Amino acid sequence: MSFSTAKRDTVFGFPEDRPESFQPIDREALSENALFLLDRYRIDNANDPMAIFVSMVDKMSANQREVISRFEAAIALAGVEFGRIDLAIEKAEENQRQVNALAAALDRIQKDFAFTTDKIRQRTNSDIVLNHLKPCIYGLSGAILTLLVLFLSLRLKIL
């Protein structure tokens, strides 16, 4: 037995009436740090209080690492979800801007239509009849001028 093992046995005090049973340490169940500590203090017995303590601390550390990795995964998923929420909000804002633009265009169209109908309502019947007769008057005037020019050209033999 080494000096450190003898010193440890006196501190933890194995009773003399109960013999200590030797059980080898399961080296596959422990991390490298735990194995380093056990090898450094030359602990071979799994029933040794220091081996039990190192094993408990190693299991707690492994559990903490697992919990931390789960939290990191949850944080990554939350980041992805927040990104999706941001995209959805941006899309909703863009849609709202488009709706507002359409509402403004519709309002302008309604105002223009109201202005045009008000202009039509303010006209008298004679204005409306004259408005429809103007093309006819222009057409007749053009035909008369054409006939007059034709008559003069045949009469005077100018052309």
DSSP letters, 37-95, are: HHHHTT--BTTSHHHHHHHHHHHHHHHHHHHHHHHHHHHHHHHHHHHHHHHHHHHHHHH
Report the pLDDT value the prediction gives residue 105, as an integer from 0 to 100. 96
Contact 27, 55 (CB under 8 A): no
Report the pLDDT value the prediction gives residue 123, as an integer from 0 to 100. 76
Rounded Cα distance, 37 and 113, in Å: 90
Does one domain contain both 18 and 82? yes
Conformational region of residue 41, where left means phi above 0, alpha means psi within -120 to 50, and beta covers everything else: alpha
Does one domain contain both 128 and 118? no
Domain residue limits at 85: 3-122
End-to-end Cα spacing for the chain? 144
User: pLDDT tier at 4 (50, 70, 90 boundaries)?
Assistant: low
User: pLDDT tier at 145 (50, 70, 90 boundaries)?
Assistant: very high
Of 12-16, 65-69, 72-76, 138-142, give the lowest mean pLDDT range: 12-16
Report the pLDDT value the prediction gives residue 18, as an integer from 0 to 100. 46
Report the pLDDT value the prediction gives residue 27, as an integer from 0 to 100. 86
Does one domain contain both 118 and 131? no
Rounded Cα distance, 103 and 96, in Å: 10
Report the pLDDT value the prediction gives residue 7, as an integer from 0 to 100. 58
Does one domain contain both 82 and 131? no
The residue that leads in pLDDT, 119 or 76, is: 76
Does one domain contain both 51 and 74? yes
User: pLDDT tier at 154 (50, 70, 90 boundaries)?
Assistant: confident
Burial state string for 109-143 with b = 16 or more CB within 10 A and e = fewer than 16: eeeeeeeeeeeeeeeeeeeeeeeeeeeeeeeeeee
What would the pLDDT profile of 21-54 be if each residue is shown by its tens digit?
788 888 888 888 888 888 888 888 888 888 889 9
Contact 31, 61 (CB under 8 A): yes
Does one domain contain both 78 and 134? no
Does one domain contain both 87 and 27? yes
**Structural domains in the chain (count):** 2
Mean of pLDDT values over 77-91: 94
User: pLDDT tier at 92 (50, 70, 90 boundaries)?
Assistant: very high
